[in-house]
Amino acid sequence: MSTGMWPATWHDEGVDDGALIAAMRSGDRQAFGLLVERETRAVYHACLRILGRPQDAEDVTQESFVAAYRAIGTFRGDGSLRGWLLRIATRQSYRRLAQRRPSQDLDSVPEPRLADASGEPTQLLVAAEARESVRRAVAALADPYREVVAMRFFADLSLAEVAEATGRPLNTVKTHLRRGLERLRPTLGDSESGR
């Protein structure tokens, strides 16, 4: 990804989190702009996988960056900036999901631009229902299992990154993931793939 709009002092590649964080804390909006350019895709994907609707994902992506900007002064730097940001996005997404009215979920429309669109309307519908069942099953998990499952699979973070971002020991995160998957087994572990 090329930045394009940032001066030569900032580049996507080679700018480590430490320099970026120091610049952002000193009020450098360009540095935050670099973070936005660098991580918008990852944050948007995580939000879309949790929420299922592109419009909601856009809104929550923006909210997550604004929340991160406000809280950048409290970031301790224990883990990666990306993990910290994706944890914020995950939480914001589930908060948004909790605010939805039940009737809105019934109106949920399959995403129009998904990669597995094969052309057949019935297949599209089945695939959309399968995706919806995955989203609902994960959303129904209790924390911390939901958070760990979402950060691992929807935000594409490794277990080590999840452990750093949440401040939990790696073995605890592994346990949470295993228990989360065990709780998902009745709904997602059947032979029905839906993919």
Partner 1 sequence: MTRHHYDPSELDRQDSELDSVAERLEGYASATRTEPPIGLVDRIMAAIDEEPAPRSAWWTRVAAWRRPDQGLAAAAVVIAAITGALAVGELVDQARQRNVGSSPSPRVEASPSVAPSMTPSPTLAPSPSESASPTVGPSPPGPTVSPTPEDASTPAPTATDDDDDEIETPEPSESEHDNSGPGGGGDDDD
Q: Which of 20, 127, 148, 165 binds partner 1 (CB under 8 A)?
A: 127
CB of 14 vs partner 1, minimal distance in Å: 16
Q: Largest alpha-carbon pair distance within the chain?
A: 54
Q: Is residue 19 near partner 1 by the rule CB under 8 A?
A: no
The answer for residues whose C-beta is within 8 angstroms of residue 145's C-beta and 6 or more apart is 176, 177, 179, 180, 183
Q: How far apart are CA 48 and CA 50, in angstroms?
A: 5
Q: Is residue 71 near partner 1 by the rule CB under 8 A?
A: yes
Which amino acid is residue 5, in one-letter code?
M
CB of 111 vs partner 1, minimal distance in Å: 7
Helices (H) and strands (E) in the chain — how many of each?
9, 0
Q: Which of 6, 37, 126, 168 binds partner 1 (CB under 8 A)?
A: 37
> Is residue 98 packed enough to be buried (19+ CB in 10 Å), middle (13-18) or exposed (0-12)?
exposed
Which amino acid is residue 161, in one-letter code?
E
Binding mask 131-170 for partner 1 (x = CB under 8 A): x--xx--x----------x--xxx-xxxx-----------
Nearest C-alpha neighbor of 166 from the set 149, 142, 179: 149
CB of 103 vs partner 1, minimal distance in Å: 24
Q: Is residue 10 near partner 1 by the rule CB under 8 A?
A: no
**Chain positions contacting partner 1, by CB under 8 A:** 22, 24-27, 29, 32-33, 36-37, 40-42, 44-45, 48-49, 54, 58, 61-62, 65-66, 69-76, 111, 113-116, 127, 130-131, 134-135, 138, 149, 152-154, 156-159, 174, 177-178, 181-182, 184-185, 188-189, 193-195
